[in-house]
Structure 1
Amino acid sequence: MTVESEQDFFSELQIDVLIPAFNEENAVGKVIAAIPSFARNIVVVNNNSNDNTRKVASEAGAIVLDEPQKGYGKACLKGMEYLNDLETAPDIVVFLDADYSDYPEEMHQLIQVLVAGNYDMVIGSRARGNKEKGSMTFPQVFGNWLATWLMRRMFSAEFTDLGPFRAIRWNELKQLEMQDQDYGWTIEMQIKAVKLGLRYTEVPVNYRQRIGVSKVSGTIHGVVGAGYKILWTLWKYR
């Protein structure tokens, strides 16, 4: 695809980016700066940060919402409420983390596959891409393997990752009626997509060490909490 044809391709789509952020003042500005110019709205949900996340995100050009109740899913739901109230709804929503571990410039790959392949959802798979040494802890790698293995056994789902970097059509996202307010958000979306018959696939994405310490894999509380919630979500939607 030439530069001109790529520009025409993306100019026809309303693409909004949603970024939950908790204490990511050192990373969120880099994430925003790396997002391709075809994104219409970059929405950062400041999830009860006690640092300068809000200020940095705003100065970088993002629309910043405040969600005082902590929770990854809670922040995502807040962002979806904002998008739902827009005069012109998005065609596609891209979810990104605020820690700069993903490569936002790879967004075009997810969207091209989604549109050209007539998919409803595309997951950026770290398992299929290149991971920088140390970018994923053992609990992350094992947890992803176990969760995706269980999804195959329980739902015949073909996933290799629960990666947060993903693109989904707005109308289909609303059909999922997302509910989870914390660690179960990504797996809830994938399970519901399978159960509702959405067309999905994965695209290999690169992954690097995040800036700062992970709020999930970087603490025992986070690892245990995330693991429990993922297993509970699997059981809930079995």
Structure 2
Amino acid sequence: MKLVCIPAYNEEKIIGDIIKKSLQYADKVIVCDDGSADNTAKIARESGAQVISHKKNQGYGAAIITLFDAARKENSDIMITIDGDGQHDPEQIPILINTLQENNVDVVIGSRFLDGKSETPGYRKRGIKIITSTANFGADFKVTDSQSGFRAYSKKAIESIHPTETGMAVSTEILLKISNKGLSLAEVPISISYGNDTSTQNPVPHGIAVLMSTLKFISVKHPIPFYGFPGMALVIAGSIMGYQFLDVYLHSHIALLGSLFAAILLFLVGTILCVTAVILFSMATLIREKN
């Protein structure tokens, strides 16, 4: 069964059209109404979709989690996620499905940047590229658009991926889980429209929040470069400063207490980072062995 899943929040103006177009390419459409204050849920039902409603707004990731759970309950062979704000064109759904089936991959991402013709606003493009570069560091593959919500998942991917992030960083979390599970991935170029962009979030703090969450996931997967290397550098720096303090004190009997405190602080922080790296690395190794 081909299932289209749509996370939606206050999208009464456009949701009906998205559902009707999506039904042309799917056996069923499920909408997760994430606590909308308008008629999103009502219009979605009238347009032919099954609606799962959150009592209050929980975030984009929470809607994606609900939709993954729904896809597993429906025993779907293919799940397509498409945003409910009208930015994605449902008529491009066959492109993702055909790529998934013809190339026998587990996940297909619709990328705004793959063909180099994106009309994405400059500030948004720069932010997405920074987040994507960070995400690529943690994955075993490289993508051009880590934040695209227009994706197709195979049955294997649906069963394997269990997101936990309730915010926008869920897109990156899913990428890292695709990598961790050894699932195959492909990208296809898509067009996108920002004419119905109704986001009320300030792009700067929003982008920083997504980047920080991305770094959190990657730091757990790669604790040695994230914690171990900086920790070792701080331990070495603290040791050098401590040696210099002793050298000055023994030869000149001058106690540079500021240098001493700095040396102790650097050494302690470095040690904590190194211990953190070892613990996380050990936990990650155990988890991989169990899987």
TM-score, with length taken from structure 1: 0.84
Per the TM alignment, residue 33 of structure 1 is displaced from its structure 2 partner at its CA by 2.2
Per the TM alignment, residue 177 of structure 1 is displaced from its structure 2 partner at its CA by 2.3
Listed as ranges, the matches of 1:121-136 within 5 Å are 121-129=107-115, 130-132=117-119, 136=120
SS at match of 1:124: strand
Worse-matched range after superposition: 169-178 or 156-165: 169-178
Aligned residues: 219
Once residues 221 and 169 of structure 2 are traced to their aligned partners in structure 1, the CA distance between those partners, rounded to angstroms, is 12
Matched, 1:181 2:166: yes
Once residues 160 and 203 of structure 1 are traced to their aligned partners in structure 2, the CA distance between those partners, rounded to angstroms, is 10
CA offsets 1:195-234 (integer angstroms, 9 cap, x no match): 2211111000001114241144x55553443333233333
Worse-matched range after superposition: 31-40 or 56-65: 31-40
The aligned residue for residue 57 of structure 1 is 44
SS at match of 1:143: helix
Structure 1 counterpart of 2:22, one-letter code: I
Asked whether the 8 Å contact 2:31–2:50 carries over to 1, the reply is yes
Matched, 1:206 2:191: yes
Matched, 1:80 2:99: no
Asked whether the 8 Å contact 2:106–2:153 carries over to 1, the reply is yes
Asked whether the 8 Å contact 1:102–1:206 carries over to 2, the reply is yes
The aligned residue for residue 9 of structure 1 is none
Structure 1 counterpart of 2:84, one-letter code: A
The aligned residue for residue 168 of structure 1 is 153
1:148/1:222 Cα in 2 relative to 1: closer, same or farther (>3 Å)? closer
| Structure 1 segments unaligned to the other structure (5+ residues) | 1-13
CA RMSD of aligned residues (A): 2.0
| Structure 2 segments unaligned to the other structure (5+ residues) | 223-291
Structure 1 counterpart of 2:164, one-letter code: Q
Per the TM alignment, residue 31 of structure 1 is displaced from its structure 2 partner at its CA by 1.2
Per the TM alignment, residue 60 of structure 1 is displaced from its structure 2 partner at its CA by 1.1
The aligned residue for residue 110 of structure 1 is 96
User: Percent same amino acid among aligned pairs?
Assistant: 26
Greater gyration radius: 2
Once residues 78 and 139 of structure 1 are traced to their aligned partners in structure 2, the CA distance between those partners, rounded to angstroms, is 31
Asked whether the 8 Å contact 2:131–2:211 carries over to 1, the reply is no
Once residues 175 and 85 of structure 2 are traced to their aligned partners in structure 1, the CA distance between those partners, rounded to angstroms, is 22
The aligned residue for residue 194 of structure 1 is 179
| Higher RCO structure, 1 or 2 (CA under 8 Å, sep 6+) | 1
CA offsets 1:70-102 (integer angstroms, 9 cap, x no match): 11111111222223333xx11010000001111
